[in-house]
Structure 1
């Protein structure tokens, strides 16, 4: 019976670990793909505007269509990963507070203390794996108008300038990944989790002293 229970626990642990890692890998891979595609798109648009051509409009139309495709891909990712990002935000926040509380209240030996530190580092590192790529994706979309602005757009005809104005306005509507629409997922969110956990630890420590 002990062997059966141990085997079941090992199977569940292995299944959960591989599922989480695979899910994280898909998220990071999609973010990296969008980041590289938007960087390449910025370079191509700037290059097309800087180089004098007889009719750059067809090529720019293709770039605009590609930008719309990348933006729609980003919107689908926001919908797919929305609930998961909120879940990891809450897990990281409450787990960090719980581990810090244990470090305050319990007299742990060196092994247990190191185990708790590794646990909290793992939760924070995993949440960073979600927030930093999300921040970079949003930044690349928001930086597209700057790439157009520093190009030689003014040397092109009025119709092309209107096309570029449309792209700039569309890019400025860029949003962050969200946790079920309740919170934005970016570097500021990562920083707020750390500050809230440390604030909770400091408040509880003061309560114990008083």
Structure 2
């Protein structure tokens, strides 16, 4: 089951990456544990060496300190996502299994809705593939640094005789980051768009619901119950998704602010262009990652709210059957509850948070730059 990936599935490419990195929820448990231990151990080692680099260089090399800080940030980012993937294996299995209950686009006869949803699916799949191709290119540029500049891809203290070993370790770790970190980012984006498609199909069903026809009350009630049950299913599915990714939301927000701030600070300072380009690539990668969480979450919330608008446009209040009329009132009341994707209530994933993140990055950069000028 885990080895089969449907070509028409939006999540196929992210799930392939997770499978290759042994971080897929259906991967053999022992192999997942072994890869988790290796990845986390490598991240902790590089983080420890980066901390030592900060301690030994903070008085005479502010740029190397910034590189080491970036390395710490990157390693803790990886540790958080690797551990979260492992701890939520069971919930992720449930999430993937429940996708079998999703409605199929091909089952909808309306040419308009079919064309719209097919375009969304195709666009997202292409977008994810372009994203992964870009990540591979950036990863290769970073991994070639030992040959181009004689330094590690990630700045840290290098004990004597450790350079070659650390270089190989960073190469292997970059593959784990591609499979695990970027794989998880792509998975959230793809599964979110799948949910958006389901909400759009549900909205379409509500819009085209026939309230006044010659069919029996029982048939009308059956159709309404099916739609309500499916709305409840999608709501529960979103809650499960939020449970799995709550810690990632908080981690992504904190890591992205620190990483982007340091990246902009280094890029704006005079120095070697190879180093400045490396940090602007860091910045672009972090912006892309953060958008992979904020934008899909915002689209889900908007798509869920469209159901309320669709129901309100129906002439349900003209129905003489009180039981069905009360059911519509309950549906309207439930759709008024705003769906929220949040990191333990501390940060919400939406476009407003993304704007705050961008503003905070530049505010933090201005603060660091002003402190540096004062010290001069």
TM-score over 0.5 (shorter chain) = yes
Of 78-87 and 24-33, the range deviating more from structure 2 = 24-33
Higher normalized contact order (CA 8 Å, seq sep 6+, divided by chain length): 1
* Deviation of the 1:49 alpha carbon: 4.1
* Match of residue 34, structure 1, among 176, 184, 195: 195
Stretches of structure 1 that go unaligned for 5 or more consecutive residues are none
CA distance in 2 between partners of 1:23 and 1:191 (Å): 23
Residue 68 (1) aligns with residue 229 (2): no
* Deviation of the 1:52 alpha carbon: 2.9
Relative distance call for 1:160 and 1:49 in structure 2 (3 A) is: farther
* Match of residue 114, structure 1, among 277, 299, 316: 277
* Deviation of the 1:43 alpha carbon: 0.9
Determine the structure 2 residue equivalent to 1:178: 342
Relative distance call for 1:159 and 1:205 in structure 2 (3 A) is: same
Number of matched residues?
209
CA distance in 2 between partners of 1:51 and 1:9 (Å): 66
CA distance in 2 between partners of 1:53 and 1:152 (Å): 16
* Deviation of the 1:39 alpha carbon: 0.7
Of 43-52 and 189-198, the range deviating more from structure 2 = 43-52
* Deviation of the 1:194 alpha carbon: 0.3
* Deviation of the 1:133 alpha carbon: 0.2
Alpha carbons 2:260, 2:283 under 8 Å: kept = yes
Q: What are the within-5 Å matches in structure 2 for residues 195-210 of structure 1? A: 195-207=359-371
CA distance in 1 between partners of 2:352 and 2:330 (Å): 29
Determine the structure 2 residue equivalent to 1:123: 286
Determine the structure 2 residue equivalent to 1:187: 351
Relative distance call for 1:108 and 1:49 in structure 2 (3 A) is: farther
Alpha carbons 2:262, 2:365 under 8 Å: kept = no
Aligned CA RMSD, in angstroms, stands at: 2.1
Determine the structure 2 residue equivalent to 1:153: 316
SS at 1:146's partner residue? helix
- Deviation string for 1:34-93 (max 9, x for gaps)? 101111101101211466353311101010000000000000011000001111111111
CA distance in 1 between partners of 2:179 and 2:282 (Å): 18
* Deviation of the 1:160 alpha carbon: 2.0
* Deviation of the 1:144 alpha carbon: 1.4
Relative distance call for 1:53 and 1:183 in structure 2 (3 A) is: farther
SS at 2:245's partner residue? helix
Q: What are the within-5 Å matches in structure 2 for residues 136-147 of structure 1? A: 136-147=299-310
TM-score, length-normalised on structure 2? Answer: 0.52
Alpha carbons 2:207, 2:311 under 8 Å: kept = yes
CA distance in 1 between partners of 2:360 and 2:282 (Å): 18
SS at 1:182's partner residue? coil
* Deviation of the 1:111 alpha carbon: 2.8
